[in-house]
Structure 1
Amino acid sequence: MTEIIEAELVVDYPPTPSWRIVRPLGSYQLFGLAWVNDDSAWLRQLSRLPYSAATHGATLLALDRIRGYLLLINPENDHAEILNPYHAEDFLDAQGLCLWQETLWFCRDESVYVCQLPDFTPQVFTRLTYPVHGVTVDANGVYVTCQKSGYIHQLAHTTGDLIRKIPQPGIGPENLTLANNCLWVCDRLEQTVYQLDLAKGTVKAAALTPFANPTAISLDPEGKIWLTYAGEEPYLRDNPNNLDNPLELDYRDYTYIHPLVFQPHAADHYTLSNGYLVEMCYLEEVSPLDETQLDNLEWRISLPVNTLRQTLMKAEPLGTPYRIERVGDQQVAVFQFPELRSPEARLFGWRAWVEVRGIKYHLTPDDVPQGETLPAGFAEKYLVDDDQLAMDHPLVQAAAKEAIGTETNVLRQMLKIRNYVYDRLSYSLTPMIDTPDVVLERGVGSCGEYVGVLLALARLNGIACRTVGRYKCPPFPEQQGIPLNAMYNHVWLEFYIPGLGWLPMESNPDDVVERGPYPTRFFMGLPWYHIEMGKGIPFETTNYRDKGVRIGNLALNHVRFTILSELPPQPTI
């Protein structure tokens, strides 16, 4: 079945959200965040000081650990005033921030501190065995996070004695806050915000953050989640003293405050987070390496697919018209060339407008249905060696058995397979994709080779899985309206749990800790900048593929993204 795609952007497209990225003037790295109550007595006392009119209406209190500043911030104009000008040294290297009644709490190293406002002289509340990264307080106690212990510790107000320990939901440094009978935790390494049931200490939902390195979390009076982000970024520094090469690579601090979209779909075990309207262009430039003569050439390029997190709003041809063929629920642009002769120059491809959001599934092994089997036809399609996976090689078969051990739960099996592969491989770009037996023997692989090994080990254990890709938009949503070039293509995979469906899993980006433990940020989750296309089918191919003609020898591809706007939350149905 063929058709011409004529979808148009919706005329009454939802407006860009009213919020903005807050970049407080004079700040370096924010590691604490709280909302100020205008009726607080301590704030009324401070308001007698000669603060700038630009600070009037300020609602945010943030902690800058580089300078030790407590900043009162107006989110509408980025203006900030220092509330602790004589006590900044006491807050150096501090993190975590909580306002409770007339007290201010923060942590540094192994200690938790409290200030009796409006006095900003810190007093030690308690000392722990390991460094603490976050603190929040309510009438039931003081909650502090400790990455090295792996727990959130609930302590008594008066004595600091331990009341109970709640397992940390992630493996990185975590910050936290309390709201609506829930603990809200942001994990810097996991790039994830977790909603925990306060009474049970269990995760109710989780969402990926749109930026890396979330360092603090707070909920405003309306219940909207706000996060601070901080780190270092490289930039080109113009050094006029270096006459021969004035441009030098250097690093600088960055920090900002931004709201998190948190839309849980509890019945389907996933949560959507911030999204963007992205324009993607994929263009092929015909430039054969050798003398070429091809007749009736058919060139197929997949379009972005529609998923729970991604919507193709519009697509149009570039350079050469195409027709659309449907492969299941996927669309493929098919270009026809009656003849291709050398030397012959052509440009062809497509431009697509896509809504993309972050998605994170939260499933436990107990959520896996019992007694469910794969749908008809899945075994023949997703359990076979259909892409040089070396599934009959003794090394690969032995690895498949070793990876899962005696585990029988499919979710645990998949996580064990991922961790097994991470233990044995290190990431590196390679000039070509080798088979899993070669990759396992070598111990180094590209993203495509990680996928090959993961596919082989999963399929040998009866787990249906498929390749997904193909590109990632450069993750710089603050650079809206600026053309961004993708440097590399990228592939990841999806695995199938009978009774639940397909779940995403990244190939190699979570392999960031030598020998683990590994984050699970992209295990059952994808950030907003992944563009899904070619699920279980080739992203790009020709009818000359089986005749030994490689696309890379025929053309050069050009990939460009433009982030157009941030999306508001999806309408609630």
Structure 2
Amino acid sequence: MCPLCLCGSFHPLALEKCILEYILPTKAGRAHSRAIKFAIVGRIAVLLTQKRSPFSLPPMIFDPASLPSHRQTIRPISATALHGIVFQDNKLIAIDAKNGYLYQIALDTGHTTVLNSHRWQEFVGTTGLAIDDQNHLWFTTRENLYCCTLEDFTPKFFTRLPYTANGVAVTGNTIYVTCQRSGQIFIFDRQSGQEITRLYAPGIGIENITIRGEELWLTDTLEQTVYCLDRATGEQLFSMITPFESPTGLAFYRDANSGKDILYVAYAFQEPYIRDNPNSEQVYELSYRPRTFVHPLYFHYDPAKKYTLSNGYLIELSYVEELEPLYNVELKNVEWRIALPLETPRQKIRSVEAVGLPFIEEIEDGQRVAVFKFEQITAKQRHIFGWKVLLEVWGIKYQITPKDCEDLPDLPADFPDRYLIDNDDLAMNTEIILNAAEEATGRETNLLRKVYSIRNYVYDQLSYGIKPHIDTPDIALRRGVGSCGEYVGLLLALCRLNGIACRTVGRYKCPPHPLERNLPLEPDYNHVWMEFYLPSIGWVPMESNPDDIFEGGPYPNRFFMGLAWYHTEIAKDIPFERMLSEGQPVLKTQVPIGDLAINHVQFIILEELAPKD
């Protein structure tokens, strides 16, 4: 029976008819028709698959009043490369660098207009945008900074930088202009046009800028980061990782309901996709298309814990093995152990359930492990078994400086025997690795700077590439090409030889498409990174290879002491997956797990989360 109108049908077409004829004609229904339709059908599908009676539904299963007053993600029609953005009343003003359009978007309706319809040519290539207290528009194009009114948009030249000017912000009589080529923020006096001073720009990419009170806020395209700086000194107060790549602009919006400032960030990048080309022999071909939008950046900075959390997501992560041996095998009294995700400052478990077969949960070295038991495993058996976890994941960026790492205490007593030795084929006694450990750090004594130097040394020596198996660090270093596992192996070896406690972390990254909700997403590969230990501070993450994006540098610090929301932490200090037969470990050289089963990894992004204050 239909749980909406009791029409006597469970059929999806009947549900569709109820929605179209009885719910959508209402005023609230018309306003949010698509969202209501998907939410109701989706909710009913969940209840039916859970074998729950639809009569257990409350009278109203979806409240249109709970929808946000304006669209969370802003996508101006026809926009291809949004950069500078600024809010004016309840409207967003945004510049498209490619076509020169100055968009005005109403936040409540999404209605979009082009303000400079007769002067768009002068705005082609514009990236920076600001509106001052006299309602003048400031913008950067190539090396120049211009000003105009919002009535006729006739550019008035203000100043010229030695290199390309990127972002601009104005407060009172002070103008701030970012410049990637010089790595600086230029500060000008508005009245005289004279340069006052310069501040250091924290990232290596193209940076845009806005002002809030006594703070400067910057986006960086390559760092995938937003920085908060002291406006007077340029000192970095904190930073955060953005949920999408290539942030190109930012602005604060004062929400009338909550009275709080919401930080919105613009993004622009090229998205690969499969194009249907009927004129080609190969009908389907790889192509690229522009993607650009504006999305809120939620964050919480904890000065005591020295990290910032940013946009989180509730995800469903499933790890399932499909038992299908490749050859005749017989194992008796088998324990198949699969680690469960961890609880960390950026990752929280809401629920865990078994898939296929039940498991018992054990604690191994402080970590939760799912243990599946089989009386025997033979080539003729077929099973699926694993776990499904509802998981909160967040972006995290640690705010630790070399000054924080002066005069650190000694490592805990048990750490040297666990995290300074060669316990994973790290080739730490080979000449090439011993020489590399010395060369990577030189005379540096500060622990944090040593780790940073080792990272950059490894990036200088290796380029990313995947092989069927992982070689030891000495072989990878000679070859000059490594997978994420080989990057980690070399990083571990060099850090441990320099007295830095470190360990491997993994295991998977969710495909980074946070706007693709309630769809199964499958990663192409597994992934590992590392953590290093700072006495009195704790374990700090560092990615393996993703920041190695330029041959010879400079390298972004995006994932140096930081992780994006899509990293899932599953195993530290213990194997992710292993087997015991009759109480004895089953070695890879005897029966590799990959010869017994096919692993299936699936992510479903359910909703976006904002960190609590």
* TM-score of the alignment, normalized to the shorter chain, above 0.5: yes
For residues 57-108 of structure 1, give each alpha carbon's deviation from its aligned partner in whole angstroms, at most 9, with x where no partner exists.
Answer: x510000112111110023343210111100001001111100022111111
- Counting aligned pairs with the same residue, the percent is 50
User: Aligned residue for 1:27?
Assistant: 79
1:322-348 C-alpha deviation (Å, 9 max, x unpaired): 111112432111111111111221111
Structure 2 counterpart of 1:239, from 239, 254, 277:
277
Q: 1:159 aligns with which of 165, 168, 192?
A: 192
Structure 1 position 118 matched with structure 2 position 151 = yes
Cross-structure match for 1:82:
114
* 1:442-495 CA-partner distances (Å, limit 9, x unpaired): 000000000000000001111000100000000101100011111100000100
Q: Is the 8 A contact 2:321 2:598 kept in 1?
A: yes
Q: Superposed, which structure 2 residues align to 1:208-223 within 5 Å? A: 208-221=241-254, 222-223=260-261
Task: Check the 8 A contact 1:16/1:568 in 2, yes or no.
Answer: no
Match of 2:211 among 178, 187, 195: 178
Aligned match for 2:313, one of 273, 276, 285: 276
- In structure 2, how many angstroms separate the alpha carbons of the residues matched to 1:306 and 1:532? 8
Measure, in 1, the Cα distance between the counterparts of 2:363 and 2:425: 26
Confirm whether residue 482 of structure 1 aligns to residue 524 of structure 2: no
Matched, 1:383 2:416: no
Corresponding residue number in structure 1 for 2:93: 61
Match of 1:142 in 2: 175
| TM-aligned CA distance change 1:412 to 1:140, over 3 Å | farther
- How is 1:417-456 mapped onto 2 (pairs within 5 angstroms)? 417-456=454-493
- Quick check: 1:556 aligned with 2:598? yes
Report the counterpart of residue 47 of structure 1 in structure 2: none
1:512 aligns with 2:512: no
- Contact between 1:300 and 1:335, CA under 8 Å: does it hold in 2? yes
User: SS of the residue aligned with 2:358?
Assistant: coil
- Of the two structures, which has the highest relative contact order with CA contacts closer than 8 Å and spacing of 6 or more? 1
CA distance in 2, matches of 1:395, 1:239: 51
- 1:387-429 superposed Cα distances (whole Å, 9 cap, x missing partner): 1001111111110111100001110000000000000000001
1:25–1:78 CA contact under 8 A, matched in 2: no
Structure 1 unaligned residues grouped into runs of 5+: 1-14, 38-57
Query: Which residue of 1 is the match for residue 103 of structure 2?
Result: 71
In 2, distance between residues paired with 1:16 and 1:328? Answer: 44
**Counterpart of 2:261 in 1: which secondary structure?**
coil
For residues 500 and 377 of structure 2, what CA distance do their matches in structure 1 show? 42
The answer for the alignment partner of 1:53 in structure 2 is none
Structure 1 stretch displaced more, 262-271 or 246-255:
246-255
Q: What runs of 5+ residues in structure 2 fail to find an aligned partner?
A: 1-65, 255-259
In structure 2, distance between residues paired with 1:117 and 1:368: 50
Residues 133 and 174 in structure 1, CA contact (< 8 A), matched pair in contact too:
yes
Measured against aligned partners, the alpha-carbon deviations of 1:535-554 in whole angstroms (never above 9, x if no partner) come to 12111111243363211111
| Partner of residue 227, structure 1 | 265
Q: Which residue of 1 aligns with 2:586?
A: 545
Tell me the TM-score normalized by structure 2: 0.85
Deviations 1:169-199 (A, max 9, x none): 1111100000021000111100000000111
Distance 1:545 1:203 in 2: 51
Deviation larger for 186-195 or 66-75: 66-75
After the TM superposition, which residues 261-272 of structure 1 pair with which residues of structure 2 at under 5 Å, given as runs? 261-272=298-309
Q: Which amino acid aligns with 1:507?
A: S
For residues 256-405 of structure 1, the aligned pairs below 5 Å read: 256-405=293-442
Cα deviation for residue 369 of structure 1 reads 4.8
Q: Give the aligned residue type for 2:83.
A: F
Residue 16 and residue 379 in structure 1: after superposition, are their counterparts in 2 closer, same or farther (change >3 A)? Answer: farther
Amino acid at match of 1:229: Y
4+ residue runs over 4 A deviation: 15-19
Secondary structure (helix, strand or coil) at the match of 2:304 reads helix
Query: Is this contact kept in 1: 2:326–2:379, CA < 8 A?
Result: no
Q: Distance in 2 between matches of 1:556 and 1:536?
A: 24
Query: How far has the Cα of 1:220 moved from its partner?
Result: 1.2
Indicate if the aligned counterparts of 1:237 and 1:249 stay in contact, CA closer than 8 A.
yes
Secondary structure in 2 matching 1:175: strand
Please give the secondary structure, in 2, of the residue aligned with 1:305: coil
Secondary structure of 1:415 counterpart: helix
Q: Calculate the TM-score normalised by the size of structure 1.
A: 0.91
Indicate if the aligned counterparts of 1:25 and 1:79 stay in contact, CA closer than 8 A: no
Instruction: Say whether the 8 Å CA contact 1:104–1:114 is kept in structure 2.
Output: yes
Cα distance in 1, alignment partners of residues 477 and 80 from structure 2: 43
Amino acid at match of 2:193: G
Task: Determine helix, strand or coil for the equivalent of 2:517.
Answer: coil
In structure 1, the residue corresponding to 2:433 is in which secondary structure? helix
**Residue 168 of structure 1 is aligned with which of 194, 201, 214?**
201
Aligned AA (2:544):
S
What do residues 218-263 of structure 1 show as CA deviations (whole Å, max 9, x unaligned)? 1113421110001111222223444x54333222111111010121
Superposition deviation, residue 117 in structure 1: 3.2
Native 8 Å contact 2:531 2:539 kept in 1: yes
CA–CA distance in 1 between the matches of 2:107 and 2:246?
20
Aligned-pair CA distance for 1:16: 9.2
Cα pair distance change 1:405/1:370, threshold 3 Å = same
Structure 2 residue 162 is the aligned partner of structure 1 residue 129: yes
SS at match of 2:418: helix
| In 1, Cα distance between equivalents of 2:175 and 2:152 | 20
Moved more, 420-429 or 282-291: 282-291
